Structure formats: C-alpha cells, structure tokens
Amino acid sequence: MDLHISAEHVFIACGYTDIRKSIDGLSAIIAQQFQMDPFQPSLFLFCGRLRDQFKALLWQGDGFLLFYKRFEKGRLQWPRTPDEVRELTPQKYRWLMEGLSVEQPRTVQKIAPKTVL
C-alpha cells in the first residue's frame, strides 16, 4: 500500500480538545469553531488535556486520514490559548513533534552597528 501524505499547511488547534472525538467531531471543530474548510489540503492537529497524545486530521481528496499518537514518556509543549488556531511553519511543526515549544526564543539577537567617530 502506497500512503502518500502531503499537506499545504499545518494548523494547530490551541488549547485542549476532547481526544475521543473522531473524524466528524474534529472536522466540525474546524468548520464551526475556527471557520475554516476541513476539506482543504491541510493537516489539523488537536491535543488532549494531558498533552501526552494528539490527533491529526488530513483531507486526501477522496477521504480523511486520522492519525493518533500517544507518547509513552514526555508531553507536548502545546499552546494553551483556547479557541485559537495557528498555522505552523515546518520548523515549528518539527519543534512540536520533538517536545519543544513552538514559541522558541530568538537564538541570534541583532545588535546595532557601532558608529565610528
């Protein structure tokens, strides 16, 4: 079986979601709460209250894919602002899956050039 997964965007549903919800429940959150189209080629991520599991929903053109992952050790650093959805860059998605916060501090700070007299 060839499972090709591609998404144009990755969206994260901030706050917690009842992880017992299935495809219909998650797509209803996307449409009703976030006013977005669940049939767009985007990956939508949802996290449970304990932050040790998440679900992902992706429309593939002929049906939905529902992914579920439970971490045996550790927790996700999930943004907890309720009723908010954010788009993640590929880097922020990697950070999240590695257990890091999507809000990383800047590693390099710009310094104003010195003036020479």
Domain assignments of the chain as residue spans, ordered by start? 9-98
Q: What percent of the chain has pLDDT over 90?
A: 37
Tokens linked to 15: 């706050």
pLDDT in tens, 1-55: 445 567 889 999 988 899 999 999 999 999 999 999 999 989 999 998 888 888 9
**65: DSSP letter:** E
Let me know: does 62 contact 18? Beta carbons within 8 Å: no
16 to 1, 105, 110: CA distances (angstroms): 33, 24, 36
Residue 105's pLDDT is what? 65
pLDDT grade for 93, boundaries at 50, 70 and 90: confident
pLDDT grade for 116, boundaries at 50, 70 and 90: low
